[in-house]
Structure formats: structure tokens, C-alpha cells
Structure 1
Amino acid sequence: MQKKNHSDKKINFFITSDTFPSISVTGNSCSLMCQHCKGKLLQRLIPATTNEELEKKALMLHRSGAKGILLTGGCDKQGRVPIKSLIPAIKKLKETTDLILIAHTGFISREEAGSLKDSGLDGIGFDVMGDMTSVLDVYGLHVSEKEYMDSLQAISDSGLLIFPHVCVGIHFGKLSGEYRALEMIRSIMPTTVIITGLMPVVGTPMQHIKPDPLDFEKIIKKAIVMFPDIPVILGCAHSSGKDRADIEKIALLCGVSGIAAPTFETIRFAKESNYEINYYGTCCGLIPVDRMKINYPFLPTLKRAW
């Protein structure tokens, strides 16, 4: 991959609501009920818990113009999403459509990663935590760093594309292990590195907590230095309200390769700053290709958010 030149004023914006929807393979169910989500985020997704239901809904989405689908869902008590149980549907969809299929799996074994690769699945997004105390406090999981490393290596060795995610402020809004998570990712060759952030979700213990936008600057700058040949992306989860636009502006000025679900304010700022902008209707973890380009709708006139 060509080394990025961060003096180039280019940015990819990923707009995925229609072209790359998310399906929860567990419906609204989650055994972990983490402190930042409590299953609330699953309620926004399309449910499909059986092979028949997944195949039927994916085909409907494909006919409606979807280019790909993210398979995600709630975790079991070991921090795993049951994607493997839907391999027959994944295989059928890859044989009969040109859909891009990626997944959030949580912790995963070599055998599972290999089976998913054989099914035709294109890639896996994997959340990496660098502080095991945070994992316990937020997710309620008693795990070691080795379990994260084993999953990273399993996905990488399978040949699947891998999009590691590092979440800024997941430990109740404070930095805790993000730098170590980046170091852990260096053990493999990721397709992209996704920087996300705590989202304040109503009805959870963290509903009033937001990470400091300046913490995003610290982590994004570190990621860009550590991964000079890998796209560093601001993922779709990155706070809300005015902070969301502020974080996007910080990411843009730091030199990220892309931003997922940008605010109109950020799009305007990029235009006014003479960035070369490309819009893609794909998950931000994937390397963008021309066939996934979209014509983004007319940008309305908005009052400034800051």
C-alpha cells in the first residue's frame, strides 16, 4: 500500500445508512449488557437470528440497492457474537449475490475464523482493549490480553480482512488502555485501523458521559504515526451533539484517511477548506473502491454548530 502523505488534503466520507445496513444476528438479545450499551444499540438494527431470516432479509436489502451488510449482534457471556451459526446463509448469499459481508465477532478461535473465511465472509471488525481492568468494569469480562492477541492473530492468519477498533474513552469517558491497544494491533497487518469513541446512550449508566474531544486528537495522532502505511479512520461511533462535529474536525486536521457518518458541519468545513472529497456507501473499514462511490445528496444550509 502506498504510504500516506498527510499534507494531501483528501478525505473519504463513508455514508452507509442505505447501502451498507447492519443486521443483528441476536435480535435485541445480549448476555453481557455492557455499561455503555445495555443492549440499547441493538434495537436500532435489523434483526435476523436464523439462517432463513438472514438470507431472506439480506436478499430484500440487496434488491433495494444495498452493496453490503455488517453482521453484528449481542455477545454471549464469553464476549462472542454467534456469527458462526449463520455460515450456511453467509455461504448462500456469497454464492448468489455480489454483497460484501463483514462481521463483528467478538472473541474468536482459529477454527471459527477459518470457517468464516471459507464461507466467503469478507472481513471482521474486532474491538481491541488494552486495559483489562476496563474490560472488567465496562464489559464484565474476566479476560487476559492474550485472549485479545489470540483473536487478532486468528483473524489475521485466516486471510480475512481485519479492521481493529480502538474506542476512545470507553472507560467511563477516560483514556485507559487505548495506547496499549494500538501497540497490540501492531502484531498483525490490519486492513484499516478504526478509531471510535464512547457514545452516550440513553438508558445506560454512561448516558451523560462523553469523552474529551482532545483525547481523540492524542489517539488519532499516535495511530497515524504507528501505522504510516495503513488508513486510520474515524469510525461512525464518536460521541454526539457539538462534540461529534468537534471530534470530526480534529480528526480531519490530524490527517485521517476517512470519517464515517460525518455531520453536515464537517462536510461543509472540508469543502470550505478545499479538501478533495470522495463519498462511499460502504463500511469505513473497507478499502474504498470506485464501484462503492455514491453521489451524496445536496448539502442544506445549516447554522454553525460551534
Structure 2
Amino acid sequence: MSLNLDISDKSLEDLFKKAIQNKKFMDQLYNASKEKRTKLFDKRVRVYYPSKAFPSISVTGTQCYLHCKHCNRKYLQGMIPITTAQKLIDFCHKHAEKGGTGCLISGGYTAGGFVPLNKFINAIKEIKETTSLEINVHTGIVDKKMAEALAYAGVDSVSIDVSGDIKIIREIYGLQKTPEDYYKSLINLKAAGIRITPHIGIGFYYGKIDHEFEAMRMIKKVEPDVLVFVVFRPTPGTPLENLPPPPLEHVLLVMALARLYMNSTPISLGCMRPSGKYRLLLEEKAVEIAADRIATPARSTVSKFTKEGYVIEELNKCCTL
């Protein structure tokens, strides 16, 4: 590696702070991350376009107990509302018959910080046994019983948002939980033998880098199957709609440090991120520096990848699979 770094549990914040104050060191970090990314994955990149083949389903419709400051239920409005087990079975059977590849099962949170999936477990199991659909489940906090139920149902992956600081949990999500609750969720899922694809939200604390490195520490301990990064996107109709997104170089630094820290774990740039020129630059640089997979990139970005010699694998499903 071109830069001799001590990427330890305690060094992440210090390296980040040094890099944002020293452009030369920032570039060295980027280059070291790029070198490791190339060593692990060569010039291969997976691009994911879920589209109609892999729709997002909300088992709570547009209902959510929480009013997270970055979301305020807005993202539930773009999901297909399916609120009973039988309707989920019927939808998935028809979806499979039409050539669908799978679906994301998600929904609004309860006061306990989890999606109420209990009444859908047997339905998911039936879907897995009678179709070839891949099922990714967005859970929220997971206790041991739910982890075992998801394993029983045969889900293909579990996407769980991981927060590393109590401030973001209380102030942004409005939850009376702690980072330890997220770590226990990861442990429960790992013990159940489920494919774990944790998500870290970059800049979710008012557009600032705050909890990301502590979240990485927790996640690394369970050796996840994929680490997904999403980026704070100021969303109309939310309390944070007028805030700017985190500085692009800060986002790239977080991802670069993750690549250097997370051993050989695949890293994805997930579907939630700012729009416009910021989005295009982020897509291009994230893959160059750290990510080996990316959700819904612009076609112009994929064309650039091809011209730069990347081998593209295009998939119609979630980037966690």
C-alpha cells in the first residue's frame, strides 16, 4: 500500500480530522483506499437497478410511529403498501409469474424502533418455498426471537440501519435506544446465520460527520456480508429540508477509511443520496476510491466506468444481494 497507515479502532476519527485539514494527506488516503479496492475487486463493479423487477414494499403502508427528521415518512410514500400476510403472498406470486426477481420488504417503525414483521413471517416463508424470489428485509432493531424468525422464513438478506451515537438516535430518529441496541441486533442476526447487510447513513446528524466511525466499529465485529453507505439527502417536507448535504470530500473520506478498515467486506453506495451534480460526482468517485457496487447510478456514470476499463455487472435487485 502506498501509505503506511495505522487503521485501528481508535485512529479513524483522528485520520479523518487530519485529512480534512491536510489536502496532501487526504489524497494519500484516497490513493491507499483505491489501491486496496483494486487489489480486492480489480476493476469490477456491480451496478444495481431494482426497478419493477425488485419493488419496495411497506407492510405498514405510509404509517410510522416515528417522525425521523431526515425522512418524516416521505420515503414510505414511494413504496407499495401491502399490509396483510395474504396480500403479500398474492402479490409475490403474481410478481414471480411476471418475471420479477425479488422484493424489499420494509415499512414504518414502531415506538421500539423496528418494522412490525411478526405477522408476515409465515407469509415470507411460503413465498420463499413457492417462488424463486429473493427477499431483502429492512428490519430496524432486531431481538433474538425476530432474528430466529427471519432465519426460519428463509430471507436472503437483512438490511439494518446502524447508528453509532446516541445523539442521532434521540435527536434525528426520536428513539429511546442506544448504539448498544444496534450492536445487539447485529449479534442476534449473526447468531441466526442470516446474511447481514448493515447501512450507515453518512451525514445524517444535521449534515455532519458524527456517528459513522463508531458504527463501523460495531459492524466490523460481526463481519457483515456487505456494508452499504447512504448519504443524507435534504428532502422536501422534512425538518431538515433546508440543510446542505455533507461535503462531498467528507463522504468520500468516510468511505475511504471504511475500505481501509473493513478488511475484505464488499462496500456499496446505496440508493439514498443527494441529487444533481453532487450525485454524479459521488457516484464516480465512490467507485474509484472505495465501492465495488452501486445502486441506481446514472447511465452517464456507467458509460464513464466502461470507458475507464471497468468490467460492469448489471443486476436488477437490491445492492445488498
- Using structure 2 for the length normalisation, give the TM-score: 0.85
Helix, strand or coil at the partner of 2:105: strand
Give the counterpart letter for 2:299 in structure 1. Answer: F
For each residue in 1:10-61, what CA deviation from the matched residue of structure 2 results, as whole angstroms up to 9, or x when unmatched? 2111111122111001000000011111111001001111101111111222
1:186 is paired with a residue whose SS is helix
For each residue in 1:178-232, what CA deviation from the matched residue of structure 2 results, as whole angstroms up to 9, or x when unmatched? 0111011011020101011112221111223322211221111111111231101
How is 1:112-261 mapped onto 2 (pairs within 5 angstroms)?
112-209=146-243, 210-261=245-296
Distance of 2:203 and 2:221 partners within structure 1: 23
Higher helix share: 2
CA distance in 1: counterparts of 2:122 and 2:42, whole angstroms: 44
Query: 8 Å contact 1:4–1:228 — kept in the other structure?
Result: no
Asked if structure 2 preserves the Cα contact closer than 8 Å seen for 1:200 and 1:240, the reply is no
- Per-residue Cα deviation, 1:69-128 (whole angstroms, up to 9, x for no partner): 110010011111012220121111111101111201100111111011111222200111
Q: Distance in 2 between matches of 1:137 and 1:250?
A: 31
CA contact (8 A) 2:60 2:83 kept: yes
- Partner of 2:111, secondary structure, is coil
The count of residues paired between Structure 1 and Structure 2 equals 284
- Contact in 2 for aligned 1:236/1:260 (Cα 8 Å): yes
Q: Which residue of 2 aligns with 1:75?
A: 109
> CA–CA distance in 2 between the matches of 1:4 and 1:125?
26
Is it true that 1:93 corresponds to 2:130 in the alignment? no
Root-mean-square deviation over aligned CA pairs: 1.4
Report sequence identity in percent: 33
Counterpart amino acid of 2:166? M
Q: Does 1:277 align with 2:312?
A: yes
Distance 2:139 2:265 in 1: 22
The 8 Å contact of residues 161 and 198 in structure 2, kept in 1 or not, is answered as: yes
Distance 1:4 1:281 in 2: 24
Q: Which runs of 5+ in 1 are unaligned?
A: 287-306
Would you identify which runs of 4 or more consecutive aligned residues in structure 1 move more than 4 Å?
none
In structure 1, the residue corresponding to 2:52 is in which secondary structure? coil
Given candidates 285, 292, 300, the residue that maps to 1:265 is 300
Say which SS state the counterpart of residue 309 (structure 2) adopts: coil
Distance (whole Å) between structure 1 residues aligned to residue 47 and residue 85 of structure 2: 32
- What do residues 272-303 of structure 1 show as CA deviations (whole Å, max 9, x unaligned)? 212111111121111xxxxxxxxxxxxxxxxx
Query: Please, what TM-score do these two structures have when normalized by structure 1?
Result: 0.89
CA contact (8 A) 1:6 1:255 kept: no
Structure 1 residue 4: Cα displacement: 6.3
| Pairwise CA distance, 1:62 | 1.5
